[in-house]
A and B are shown apart, each in its own frame.
Chain A
Amino acid sequence: QKEVEQNSGPLSVPEGAIASLNCTYSDRGSQSFFWYRQYSGKSPELIMSIYSNGDKEDGRFTAQLNKASQYVSLLIRDSQPSDSATYLCAVTPEGATNKLIFGTGTLLAVQP
Chain B
Amino acid sequence: DGGITQSPKYLFRKEGQNVTLSCEQNLNHDAMYWYRQDPGQGLRLIYYSQIVNDFQKGDIAEGYSVSREKKESFPLTVTSAQKNPTAFYLCASRDPGTMAFGAGTRLSVL
Contacts and interface: CB of A to CB of B under 8 A. Distances in A.
B41 A42 contact: no
A88 B42 contact: yes
Chain A's interface size range is 20 to 34
B52 to A, nearest CB: 15
Interface string B92-110: 0010111111111000000
A99 interface: yes
A12 interface: no
Chain B's interface size range is 20 to 34
Contacts of A100: 33, 94, 99
B43 A44 contact: yes
A57 B41 CA distance: 28
Interface in A40-88: 42-46, 49, 88
B57 to A, nearest CB: 12
Interface string B32-66: 01010000111101001010000000000000000
A49 to B, nearest CB: 6
Given A43-B103, A100-B94, 8 more contacts: A4-B42, A42-B103, A43-B90, A43-B102, A44-B101, A46-B98, A102-B42, A105-B42
Interface of B: 31, 33, 35, 40-43, 45, 48, 50, 90, 94, 96-104
